[in-house]
Amino acid sequence: MLIQEVKIESVRSINTCHWSIPRDKAKGWHVVIGDNGSGKTTFLRSIALALIGKLDAGGLRQSWSDWLTRGAKEGKIALRVSRNRHTDLVAASDSNSLGDPPQFGLKFARTERSESQVGLEQLASDIDPHRHVWYGGQGWFCASYGPFRRFAGNDPHDEKLYHSMPRLARHLSLFDERIALTESLEWLK
């Protein structure tokens, strides 16, 4: 899987951000640089959140009202990814209809009950991301890491997430610096 386009609107400190790259240049590592407080962490967390998906996002224990830019009615994170047809599997009924690259994402919106409550919703998409990127099948690998990479001292509750919510667990340290990468040591053994 290669990320080809990121669109972020009204998420934390980012009013509008549009990043795109041609498929032939998307492979490899890309560096995000900027001044302190410029939105680098918001940019990376937004991408990770969209890749995690709405169902697993609850495991982050985030307040979505903190994600919506102050004064905005809604915020959006939209991604376009291209898949490797050999490794990134899709649900069988969608194998021929999956556009390349598909767009998917999440939306933060104030609830009807209260202006102070913000809900997380899936963006409208031609093909449900649960049939490709959020699909539990093979491929579609993604991971992100926060600035602190510790290998000891994890909370036992967080340890359980590596097995119960693996898609979420691969991004936990980006959202919480207290997360230790203890599972990676087990894998190396």
The residue ranges of every structural domain in the chain are 2-142, 146-189
C-alpha neighbours within 13 Å on the C-beta side of residue 152:
0
**What is the Cα–Cα distance from 147 to 37, expressed in whole angstroms?**
15
pLDDT for 18 equals 98
User: Contacts by 12-17 with C-beta closer than 8 Å and gap 24+?
Assistant: 12/39, 12/42, 12/66, 12/67, 12/69, 13/37, 13/38, 13/39, 13/42, 13/69, 14/39, 14/42, 14/43, 14/46, 14/69, 15/69, 17/43
Question: Under a CB-based contact definition with an 8 Å cutoff, are residues 98 and 83 in contact?
Answer: yes
Instruction: Indicate the range of 56-65, 91-100, 128-137, 140-149 predicted with least confidence.
Output: 91-100
Q: Name the more confident of 166 and 131.
A: 166
Mean model confidence pLDDT for the chain: 82
Q: What is the pLDDT of residue 132?
A: 64
Poorest-pLDDT segment among 43-47, 49-53, 112-116, 121-125 = 112-116
Contact 33, 40 (CB under 8 A): yes
154 vs 27, more confident: 27
More confident call, 161 vs 173: 173
Amino acid 135: pLDDT: 62
Rounded to an integer, what distance in angstroms lies between the CA atom of residue 73 and that of residue 155? 36
Sign of CA dihedral 160, 137, 129, 49: positive
CATH of 2-142, picked from 3.90.1150.10, 3.40.50.1980, 3.20.20.70, 3.40.50.300, is 3.40.50.300
Query: Is the pLDDT score of 31 beyond 90?
Result: no
CA 95 to chain centre: 23
